[in-house]
Structure 1
Amino acid sequence: MRIATTRARRPGRSTTSAAALLAIALGSAPIGAEGGSDAEGLTLFESKIRPVLIEQCYSCHSVEEGTAKGGLQLDTRDALLRGGDGGPAVEPGDPDLSLLIEAIRYDTHVQMPPSGKLESGVIAAFEEWVRMGAPDPRVPVDAEAAEVAPMDAPAIDWESARSSWAFSTPTRQEPPAVSDPTWVRSRVDAFVLARLDAAGLSPNPEADRRALARRLSFDLTGLPPEPASVEAFVVDGGPDAVGRFVDGLLASPHFGERWARAWLDLSRYAEDQAHIVGDDASLCYPNAYRYRDWVIRAFNDDLPFDAFVREQLAADLIDPDDEEGLAALGFVGLGPKYYRRNSPEVMADEWEDRVDVVSRGLLGLTVACARCHDHKFDPIPTEDYYALAGVFASTVMFNRPLDDDAETKKSGEAEEPEEAIHILKDAEPTDLNIFIRGNVDQKGPVARRHFLAVLSDRVDEPVPLGDDSSSGRRDLAEAIADPENPLTARVFVNRVWGQLFGRPIVGTTSNFGALGEPPTHPELLDDLAARFVSEGGWSLKWLVRELATSGTYRQSTDITDEHRSIDPANALLGRMSRKRLPVEAWRDAVLDASGALDRTVGGPSIDPSDPEAGRRTVYSAVSRLELHPMLARFDFPDPNTHSDGRARTTTPLQKLFVLNSPFVTRHAERLADRLAREAGDDPSSRIELAHRLLFSRPPSSTEEALALDFLDADAGDPSRAWATYAQALIASNEFLIID
């Protein structure tokens, strides 16, 4: 790949965007204020960027090949930043000012690679990598070569690797002695308080009942609490009032809807493809919602998490007669699917997606980084990658007919996707060759299907997956769900903790490897993971109850001077962190307040911006080709890939949406009508009901006085005044924030 174009830049040009300036003017953070971590960027580089550079660029731009066309080399970080004849190839943080991006976009006469434009998804990955600051672990080639072991020497110190905290099976830990045993409501609290004691911090007092009711209701069901239930909770003086309130939420059918959405982020749930040729929708998934419904039902029924994992990988092999259960296979079966079926390059990309979503989603390991070379940081050789890829190469994605009336191809698939449930099934068992540097045309030795060596009893004899008659999917499911597997329970417990507390114990929830963050409370994580399996029976509801009733969770969000000076990020959990509602909970709360929420569980997808669509936001249609603008505006993740967390941006467009969108204005009108209908003609009664519906509390005297002044000022058109007032409350920070 040759890049020699120069670009004139105006003297003194600032890199601050107009959006950033407007955001600053409005007192908000610019777009992307909380972008990906270094670990996420390096993972993106290893899995998406380095392989393309090797395959497409190094032949013309590398020290190894002895060539630097246009004066440019791309095989080290420094060379990339130094650039060639045209200047730096990359402007970290700004794709639009990066010559490399300009070239691969084919924006100018310099179009690279010259053999043909890269696929849009690859270009998008490069753009995102540059936007994240172009993180790059590569060192100068001579230094890199000096660090590489000879081919006949072991590249991985297995003994050292297996002694890492992440690869040691979690066990129950003895709760430590603490300064105030009376504060400890559960084992969780002892571990937290011990860290606070060591730092000289005291935990916050318990939050007031109204704030706690709102927090619990949103965290457990994704919906605001009913005003009557809040009042009952406030006056409940029983010793287990919190436990009873939590139990009611755990029994709600809306529990599964809230927790399913978090899982759908991980499983890159979508209903179409990023690439659609014309009106050819043959690779889309019109009945994808059946997988979504299965996940909701599984969480509502408290299906043990080990069974939850097994069924998503091998439901057809575990119970082939369970027609409803087959929908679980959408975890893999709804993944990206590309045209040019059976092309080696295309299938290799699909296998990488399957390995990635399984390894990062269930094990917290970036196994796909080993597609082109041994993992640079973790004990995952390339052979292990192809051993897992072989499992998915031994399957096919399959449109199983919904019923006997569906027209069927000779293969047994439904003729039309609308008549099918989208799953996968075993095909001819296949052991893949290792592709040298990820190149499908350069085949190395065969990698027999097996589980990751570092997670097997013997690294020299990893657990085999499949045989001449099976893909190995069921064996893979059993290996992942094995209670002796050190990662599966740890990873899931950490994800649940992050959902409830606003920050996980391990900050990199899908990377427990060397580039990931270490746990802030390792003993707590181990104890929880071990008890989740042994005491909780892999039950999500057990785990949520254990955390939601703890003293740590019940703390207020008040920030003291000691918090600011000693633990400003709240890593030690001396208070509860405020959380912003995700778009799903925010939209659902708007519907609930206006009285338009349809609480029906399950079913086909909706348009979330349609003012007449009252279904919960979890039922929104999700497109890989064009993510719904409303969802995208409020930080919904890219469904093209596994997502381990939501970005949290604050932008002018978000507030403009709340002020101007037909969805919000229509439901503000409905809320105003509801206030009149349920509270009568008394303005004070309406104002009080509005606060109880939106904030789970009565208004202060100051708030009531301000509202009355506003309404009196527009007394000539009371309907419009009340709708505007309702919209102002919906647009408030308090409505958006969980305290």
Structure 2
Amino acid sequence: MQRTCRLPLFVLVALLLSLTIEGLASAADPEPAALEFFEKKVRPVLINRCYECHSSKNKEPKGGLRADSLAALLKGGETGPGVVPGKTKESLIIDAVNYGELYQMPPKGKLPADEIDVLTKWVEMGAPWPAEKDPSEGLTKDFDLARRKAEHWCWQPLKQPALPAVKNEAWVKQPSDRFILTKLETAGLSPAPPADKRTLIRRVYFDLIGLPPTPEEVAQFLKDDSPTALEKVVDRLLQSPHFGERWGRHWLDLMRYAESRGHEFDYTIPGAWQYRDYVIRAINADVPYDQFMTEHIAGDLMRTPRQNPEKKFNESILGTGFWFLGEWIHSPVDIRKDETDRFDNMVDVFSKSFLGLTVTCARCHDHKFDAISQKDYYALFGYLQSSGHRLVRFETQLAEEHLARELADLENTWRPKIAAAIAGENAAGAGELAKYLLAAREAIQSGNDAAAIAKSQQLSAIRLQAWLAQLAEAQKNPADPLHFWALIAHDAKAAEPTRLAELVAKLKEAPEAATYQGEWIVDYSKLPANEWFSNGVTFGLAPVTTGTLLLGDGKLSVAQYGAAQRDAIWNKLVIDGEAEAGKLAYPRAGRTIRTKTFVLKDGPVHYLVKGAGHVYAAVDSHAMLNGPLHGQLIKETGGNGETAPRWITQDLKGYIGHNAHLEFTPKGEEDLQVLAVAQGATAPPLPYPLNRVSQFAKLLTANESKDLSSLAAAYEQRFVSSSKSLLAAHVDPQLDVAIQAQLLNLLVAQPALWSEPTTGGQSAEAELLGKTSSKQLQAEYQAAKQKLVAAGPLKSQVALAMWDGSSVDEHLLIRGNSSQKTTGPLVQRRLLEAIEADLAAGKTVPTSTLSTTAATPEPTGSGRLKLAEKLTNPRNPFPSRVMVNRIWHHLFGRGIVPSVDNFGVLGQAPTHPELLDHLALEFIADGWSVKRAIRRLMLSNVYQMASGGSALDRSQLAIGEQRDPQNLLFHKAQLRRLEGEVIRDSILHLSGRLDSKQFGPSVPVHLTAFMQGRGRPGSGPLDGDGRRSIYLGIRRNFLSSMMLAFDVPNPASTIGKRNVSNVPAQALILMNDPLVSEQAKLWAKRSLITKDIAPATRIERLYEEAFSRPATSDEIAAANEFLKTQGTEYGVAADSLSTDERIWADLCHVLMNSKEFVFIR
């Protein structure tokens, strides 16, 4: 059997030990993340499941056990302690909820598995519980937002501190140096001396681009003795395309970035990688952070979105994809609870990432410690209720919308011209209508030849024949305005006044449609502008209104009813990219409209549609229809050459009481019209003229219907009026809109009724007047239209994005329970009350250079743009503080506020609060530039200090360890281990295999034989095609074992501070992983390309490449000895030791396994 690694045992043990760092003693206080887990997960279970019988509210808690304090649980009840931290088998509470032999709690029924898992994990974590007053000692104070806000530092407005005076002025390079130095001097400490230039350039490279410098880059830096040497390096790396890859990975940790949904089958998140690429591009472009935040919250609503400088696509909308990167359940049993869990995750990511607050701890009750109420939590829910999920054609979205507006403008320009031409051509014909109606009746009653009758009355035989055909059709359709005359024409006695009066009375007595007892959700014939929600322009920019002159692609008509109508211009749209899995896999991006959100009340929902399409009822915002449940949310409409709209019913009775909106998407290239949506026990009656009920007769006055001549004249008068309204391009208010649309359609769509064309196709009237005919005008319009369309975009990639919907506020859920029938009050959408109060009060900070597109109050929709405006308001102290603290954390190894995601009471206080505010205000005043903030800190003396080693003498080290053992005062640089991605990228960099290609679909993760499970994807190549780690696929159920070992976070929620563990798996991976050994071989092969180099020189080069420093004489001697030992192991002749790839590969492998390789000094 082939050996993976042939390193001697003593070398392996030495390497394992070299990676071992003495573990830090466990802190007495629980970590903020552990306390957050308790507040979000554990306390709600205890309150909802245990307090009824086991709390201080009971005079005699059952069994003597209380579960409302840690001390009470540790003390236990009659049979022993309820909890033994870290020991689930000895904790009675765990035995009880698992229905063990001693107890079965709660007695009403066993807890759901997920709640048992929460309690088990909590005990395993050591039962973290925040320090608080025991409830048995008396009631705690009521929630007092103002008091909490006043008592905690993070709610205080930004305040520009005075720059502190220091003794050692010569040490100060940047203002930040003063804040650090003054505390060091107060503590009797001196800052560490500067790091040597080799250490410094290595640190800068890893911090800025996540790759080591080449020996040549190090040599160039060493040669540069100018005061700006470091500044040049920093500026160059800030402009490197790799900067965005390095700092983009930091941001993706906050957004719990992944490319699959997790749960059972780990379905792909379509286009997730587009968000990753957006982040990298934005960071490289130094998009101001306030704009970056706005793009995340409401990039789809920005009035002037940021465009990609090269391809001109909409960058801003891509930011909203972060909302949908969380784990989803594909077939939830409780669809409403699933929604609240998804929203909880979205609020968690939003509040931690941008505000540094644990808002989701207020899901079930007011926050136990912070100035965050339960209403605050549900106020944020409303923004999510008012917004939906979609895939957007982001590459062509702006171009398509521009083209749609151009086409609309073109129509608006040509429509009155064509309408005027038609009116002019038909005016004379409309004035002769009475003659033709009477002549047609004569022809029908007499049976005489129509041509002869036409000749005798000096009428056109062609037109009279056309009228006879038209009346034959009208006789079949009671809704046709000519239906009444068709009946008269075929009734021999209609000329008699009594018979005519009888016919008129009969038609006038036709019953009116009964008032619908159900609820109209949408009526596209009279839709308010703020209820038009379209993903793309397939349905145009608005519904077609009744009476609109439709120019079409060659045949003119007038819209008989209002509808959202698919425009065939967009039939050839192509989607380039991934689609949703399962039943929603049909192409929806750019081709879908949705209704407002409504509450399902009756069960049956009815759609008045014509054509073929898909209808998706998005109940409780569910959008992953892949499992055995909820299949009834999909409905398909017919097609099959339908000639008229019809009601289609979808049964949703299983979701009564739930929120829903409906999404309509055409099938393939088929036509789809959506007229209305209603809900009720039965479908509404069809509206006129679809109901085939005569209406025209009801418009006639007694005088107009006294005889046939008067009746024919009444028809003529109304057609003449319609012709004039066509000329004026507006509907005659004296006529019913639907009836006038019918009259207009006869004028427009049936030219043979009104004029006789010449051989050249132009009407006789137009030819006589020397005017351009309507046909010629329409041909010119079609040519102009095709010219626009020909240049239009058709193919686009898709990405996740928000889709703004109707305004919806969320109810406060009592105890966070979505299944309870009783809910709390509706909570209006807003930012946290404590923040909004300061914004309203107008507390000021120095003027900032705001870069976002100005946001104005939104009367409709979700209100996310207004939320973004509040978030980025310079008076809001959180975003700027949180972001500069994150930057400090990544550059110095620990934030000024160590709990980077939690500025609240359960987090850690800032070590240098004045510095934090100084940096935050500087950040705002500097245009929210992340690059400039990083540059300023890197050029400080604080950043450039040494971390230890020979640069610090023993006495200085001893004093520092004694007075600042955790380096909270930053008396030296922090020794930091590289992240898993950087370690892997550095290995590829050394081997020469690193592919610097940017962007594009992720490379599938390499799967080992042990990575099994449902939804297992195809395995990617071992080396990931040499791509940087940020471009490797991240599938929730199949995460890279190497990345997990080196603490790449599980993408569940925001992680601004990664764990830094020290486990044997890390050393074992570097020793045994096939990727590492393969890259070691490639590194060796690359180093041996140049022949006739002494082994010592080659060893020097390897050390320079791996550690950015030359090897010492002892290291060269040890390496030579190692080469000889390995040569003996492989049986290599002495004269081949300098060229044998195997032994050099082993040496390269050893260097990759050294502690120095994976740490920044």
TM score, norm. by length of structure 1? 0.88
Q: How does 1:657-736 map to 2 (within 5 A)?
A: 657-678=1069-1090, 680-715=1092-1127, 716-717=1131-1132, 718-736=1140-1158
Partner of 1:266: 254
The answer to whether 1:507 aligns with 2:885 is no
- Counterpart check, 1:612 vs 2:1023: yes
**Equivalent of 2:112, from 106, 110, 118?**
118
What is the rounded CA distance, in whole Å, between the counterparts of 2:274 and 2:97 in structure 1? 38
Which is further off, 648-657 or 322-331?
322-331
Equivalent positions of 1:164-175 (< 5 A) are: 164-175=152-163
Task: Name the structure 2 match of 1:225.
Answer: 213
The residue aligned with 2:808 is 430
The answer to whether the 8 Å contact 1:259/1:299 transfers is: yes
1:306 matched residue in structure 2: 290
Match of 2:971 in 1: 574
The SS at the match of 2:943 is helix
Cα distance change, pair 353–26 in 1 and its aligned pair in 2 (3 A): closer
Instruction: Name which one, 1 or 2, has greater alpha-carbon Rg.
Output: 2
Distance 1:79 1:678, change over 3 A: farther
The separation in 2 between residues aligned to 1:206 and 1:665, in whole angstroms, is 36
Contact 1:434 1:443 in 2 (8 A): yes
1:532 paired to 2:520:
no
Partner Cα separation in structure 1 for residue 834 and residue 1151 of structure 2: 54
Choose the corresponding residue for 1:439, options 795, 802, 817.
Answer: 817
Q: Does 1:353 align with 2:733?
A: no
Contact 2:272 2:799 in 1 (8 A): yes
Name the counterpart of 2:910: 519
Q: CA deviation at 1:515?
A: 2.1
Give the AA of the match of 2:831.
F
Structure 1's 459 and 521: CA in aligned 2 closer, same or farther, altered over 3 A? closer
Which residue is 2:363 aligned to?
371
C-alpha distance after superposition, 1:11-70 (max 9, x if no partner): xxxxxxxxxxxx999955579979995322221111121122223343454454678666
- 1:354 & 1:461 partners in 2: Cα distance? 29
Q: Quick one: which of 113, 122, 143 aligns to 1:129?
A: 122
After superposition, give the CA deviation of every residue in 1:452-472 in whole Å (9 maximum; x if it has no partner).
Answer: 111123699999998662112
Shift of 1:141: 3.4
| CA-to-aligned-CA distance 1:705-737 (integer Å, 9 cap, x gap) | 111111122333333211111111000000011
8 Å Cα contact 1:55/1:439 also seen in 2: no
Q: Distance in 1 between matches of 2:111 and 2:283?
A: 44
Could you say which residue in structure 2 is the equivalent of 1:152?
Answer: none
**DSSP 3-state at the match of 1:423:** strand
Please tell me whether the aligned partners of residues 300 and 801 of structure 2 are also in contact (alpha carbons under 8 angstroms): no
Who is 2:986 aligned against? Answer: 589
The whole-number CA distance in structure 1 between the counterparts of 2:29 and 2:1142 is 43
Contact between 1:72 and 1:83, CA under 8 Å: does it hold in 2?
A: yes
1:451 corresponds to which residue?
831
Distance 1:261 1:159 in 2: 38
1:391 aligns with 2:383: yes
Specify the alignment match of 2:732 in structure 1: none
Q: Against the structure 1 CA distance between its residues 42 and 372, is the aligned structure 2 distance closer, same or farther, given a 3 Å change threshold? A: same
Give 1:273 shift. Answer: 2.4
State the superposition RMSD in angstroms: 3.2
1:146 counterpart residue number:
139
Measured at CA, do residues 310 and 299 of structure 1 come closer, stay the same or move farther in structure 2, by a change above 3 Å? same
| Displacement of 1:107 | 8.9
Question: Does the 8 A contact of 2:901 with 2:1056 survive in 1?
Answer: yes
Which residue does the alignment assign to 2:227? 239
Distance across 1 between alignment mates of 2:391 and 2:935: 39
Partner of residue 405 from structure 1, selected from 557, 560, 574:
574
CA distance in 2 between counterparts of 1:634 and 1:105 reads 34
Structure 1 residues 65, 42: CA separation in 2 closer, same or farther (over 3 Å shift)?
same
Deviates more, 1:75-84 or 1:207-216: 75-84
Label 1:579 to 1:117 Cα distance change in 2 as closer, same or farther (>3 A): same
Task: Please give the per-residue CA displacement for 1:648-692, whole angstroms capped at 9, x wherever unaligned.
Answer: 111111111111110111011111111111465421122011111
Q: Shift in Å at residue 223 of structure 1?
A: 0.8
**Structure 2 stretches lacking a partner, 5+ long:** 1-15, 306-312, 397-572, 576-586, 589-613, 616-662, 669-795, 844-854, 1007-1020, 1133-1139
- Identify if the C-alpha distance between structure 1 residues 475 and 734 changes in structure 2 by more than 3 Å, giving closer, same or farther: same
Alpha-carbon distance in structure 2 between the residues aligned to 1:552 and 1:95:
46
Distance of aligned partners of 1:605 and 1:98 in 2 relative to their CA distance in 1, 3 Å threshold: farther
Partner of 2:724: none
SS in structure 2 at match of 1:397:
strand
Whole-Å Cα distance in 2 between the matches of residues 657 and 424 of structure 1? 40
Task: Considering Cα pairs closer than 8 Å and 6+ residues apart, tell me whether 1 or 2 has the greater RCO.
Answer: 2
Distance in 2 of aligned mates of 1:395 and 1:341: 23
Distance in 1 between the 2:82 and 2:916 partners? 43
1:170 CA displacement: 2.0
Q: In structure 2, what is the Cα distance between the partners aligned to 1:94 and 1:637?
A: 26
Alignment of structure 1 residues 596-675 onto 2, 5 Å: 596-607=993-1004, 610-613=1021-1024, 614-675=1026-1087
* 2:604 corresponding residue in structure 1: none
Alignment of 1:549-560 (within 5 A): 549-558=939-948, 560=957
- Are residues 1:421 and 2:799 paired? yes
Query: What secondary structure, in the 3-state scheme, does the structure 2 residue paired with 1:220 have?
Result: helix
- 2:373 maps to what in 1? 381
CA distance in 1 between counterparts of 2:20 and 2:60 reads 50
Cα distance in 2 between the residues matched to 1:335 and 1:355:
11
List per-residue Cα deviations over 1:578-600 (Å, max 9, x = no partner): 11101011110000001110111
Matched residue, 2:431: none
Shift of the 700–385 alpha-carbon distance from structure 1 to 2, 3 Å rule, reads: same
C-alpha separation in 1, matches of 2:666 and 2:1068:
45
The 1:323–1:656 alpha-carbon spacing in structure 2 relative to 1, beyond 3 Å, is: same
Q: Give distance in 2, aligned partners of 1:688 and 1:421.
A: 48
Aligned to 2:938: 548
Mapped partners of 2:345, 2:251: distance in 1: 17
Q: Distance in 1 between matches of 2:276 and 2:927?
A: 24
Deviates more, 1:626-635 or 1:354-363: 626-635
User: Is the CA contact (8 Å cut-off) linking 1:32 and 1:647 kept in structure 2?
Assistant: no
Distance 1:269 1:128, change over 3 A: farther
Q: Separation in 2 of the partners of 1:102 and 1:290?
A: 47
Structure 1, residues 66-86: CA drift from partner, whole Å, max 9, x if none? 786666542332333334566
Out of 199, 211, 228, the residue aligned to residue 187 of structure 2 is 199
Is the partner of 1:456 in helix, strand or coil? helix
Letter in 1 for 2:1034: V
* Secondary structure at 1:499 match in 2: helix
Q: Conserved in 1, the CA contact under 8 Å of 2:255 and 2:1054?
A: yes
Deviations 1:533-581 (CA, angstroms, capped at 9, x unpaired): 10x2101100110011111101111251111111121111111111110
Q: Which residue of 1 aligns with 2:86?
A: 93
**Structure 1 residue 612, shift from structure 2 partner:** 2.9
Decide whether the 8 Å contact of 1:594 with 1:671 is kept in 2.
yes
Partners in 2 of 1:485 and 1:28 — Cα distance? 41
d(CA) in 1 for partners of 2:933, 2:320: 25
- Separation in structure 2 between the aligned mates of residue 699 and residue 415 of structure 1, nearest angstrom: 68
Report the Cα distance in structure 2 between the residues aligned to 1:117 and 1:384, rounded to whole angstroms: 29
Of 631-640 and 58-67, deviating more is 58-67
More off after superposition, 319-328 vs 205-214? 319-328
The answer as to 2:1160 corresponding to 1:738 is: yes
Contact between 1:76 and 1:140, CA under 8 Å: does it hold in 2? yes
Correspondence for 1:491: 882
Shift in Å at residue 489 of structure 1?
0.3
1:470-485 equivalences under 5 Å are 470-485=861-876
